[in-house]
Structure 1
Amino acid sequence: MTACKSVWIIEDDFRVASIHADYVNTIGGFSVTESFRTGQEAIKKLNLTSSLPAIILTDLYIPDVEGSSLVRHIRHHYPSIKIIVISAATERGLIKDVVDLGILDYLIKPFEQQRLQQAFKKYLNEHHLFQNSMTITQYELDSLLYRESTTTEDKVVKGIDLHTLQTVKSIFENPQAQELTASQLSELIGSSRSTARRYLEYLVGEQFLHIKPIYGTIGRPERKYIYHGTYEQNE
């Protein structure tokens, strides 16, 4: 069983911190393991811990914190930690400062639980993309960086799910399975042949795969899809 990813909360109002913790703990795969009332408490713990959190939720209005200084400190000393700011601060200059520091997301209080779930989904998409693929397609980048501009209608027309796409890519990047037909792929991912072919043809368009016809004795030639790296080596 995969361990839950650790989330820390920095919020001076314990009641608000408790609500945020309840929200996070309903999201599968994440668990709030620490909660701090001040920035110094959080920094002290970061300096001592041997296990950094995956995500920190922090307010900007903390008694011992000035503006974006805490976010700046964490981003500088612990760049692997993703930061989600949850604050009532709406000043343009302050928000620009923390956005420029490379935070994962910014939620303005009060917010809906679904909005926080979207922030964590962004984290999962980014983590999965960079951890499980040796190469990345333009579609995957667009889905990650411009998720708000990609309409539901566009996604339905494409018929492409990001996680399934990454699974298909991972299969082809395995040296033992770099040439597959639609039938073979459908068995591996548990889909219909037409669904498998949709992903294969999409990856051909992305130049991740190439097509090699297989000529039999009867009927139309079957298509075999070949991983781009293997294709280039054999040229």
Structure 2
Amino acid sequence: MIGVLVVDDDVRVARVNAAYVAKVPGFRVVGVAHTAAEALTALTAPEPAVDLVLLDHHLPDGNGLAVVRELRARGLQTDVIMVTAARDVATVQAAMRHGALQYLVKPFGFAGLRAKLEAYAALRRTLDGGGEAEQAEVDRIFGALSAGSVVPDLPKGHSPTTAELVRQVLLAADGPLSAQEIAERAGVSRQTAQRYLKLLERTGRVRLSLKYGETGRPEHRYAWAGPAAAR
């Protein structure tokens, strides 16, 4: 189980985010903090172990970036996903430079956070394997961390947020998924998932394969084609 510390100055938001985390298989909430001081105390305590911090930027006694800087200064390499309403480029850039793995802008729903957590879990599985990485594995590692737009120029009526959700679901998967499975994991309708999958397939981002059963039509299965195809 991946231990998560939820840090947010708003008690209600912290409670909601903790409930979201608890719903994702493989994750458990090991603590909740509402200030920078509380966060640092929890992160430096020997137990319970914190693997990942969902870290708000605006805190009453400082900010999230200061917490990350202090963690690194103490030699702690706890993973961080910024979860904040701060969307100015300077803050985003500083978060990247201090080692935040992801940056999730408020407001967001369960599907948005779940996609980030599942991508993080996939990243840990890849890294825990150790050894040397071929280019495909390197691409997968960096692909799990990427928070950029899936398609530079989306057609009218398509949402970059939904496209990113579909991408994160595919990146987190151990193998090809059906449109229904993708819809359930992304928290969208099957029709919406199919619409985005067709677009991503046409633009080379998604690879389509067919799974043949004993009877009936073959099932369409989808997998992310890799960061190289998304350039």
Q: Fold match, TM over 0.5?
A: yes
- Asked whether 1:41 is paired with 2:38, we answer yes
| Partner in structure 1 of residue 170 of structure 2 | none
What is the percent sequence identity of the aligned residues? 25
Aligned partners of 2:123, 2:95: CA distance in 1, in Å? 19
Q: What's the CA shift for 1:156?
A: 2.4
Q: Name 1:185's counterpart in structure 2.
A: none
Higher relative contact order (CA 8 A, sep 6+): 2
Paired position in structure 1 for 2:7: 10
Matching of residues 151-170 of structure 1 within 5 Å: 151=200, 154-157=205-208
**Alignment of 1:116 onto 2:113:** yes
- Given candidates 8, 22, 25, the residue that maps to 1:25 is 22
The structural deviation recorded for 1:125 is 1.8
Q: Is the 8 A contact 2:71 2:77 kept in 1?
A: no
* Contact preservation (8 Å) 1:11, 1:62: yes
> Aligned residue pairs: how many?
156
SS of residue in 1 equivalent to 2:58: coil
Superposed CA RMSD: 2.3
Write the mapping of 1:82-93 to structure 2, written as runs, cut at 5 A: 82-93=79-90
Kept in 1, the 8 Å contact 2:8–2:56? The answer is yes
Q: Is this contact kept in 1: 2:30–2:48, CA < 8 A?
A: no
Following the alignment from structure 1 to structure 2, what is the Cα–Cα distance between the partners of residues 33 and 113? 19
Q: Which runs of 4+ in 1 moved over 3 A?
A: 147-155
Q: How does 1:1-235 map to 2 (within 5 A)?
A: 4-66=1-63, 68-146=65-143, 151=200, 154-157=205-208
Q: Deviations over 1:65-108 (max 9, x none)?
A: 14621122123335431111111111111111111111111011
When structure 1 is superposed on structure 2, of 133-142 and 54-63 the one drifting more is 133-142
The residue matched to 1:106 in structure 2 has which SS? strand
Cα deviation, residue 157, structure 1: 4.9
By how many angstroms is 1:56 displaced? 0.6
TM-score (norm 2): 0.60
Q: TM-score, normalization: structure 1?
A: 0.60
Select between 86-95 and 70-79 the one with higher mean Cα deviation. 70-79
Q: State the AA in 2 paired with 1:83.
A: V
67-76 or 87-96: bigger deviation:
67-76
Q: Secondary structure of the equivalent of 1:68?
A: helix
Amino acid at match of 1:80: Q
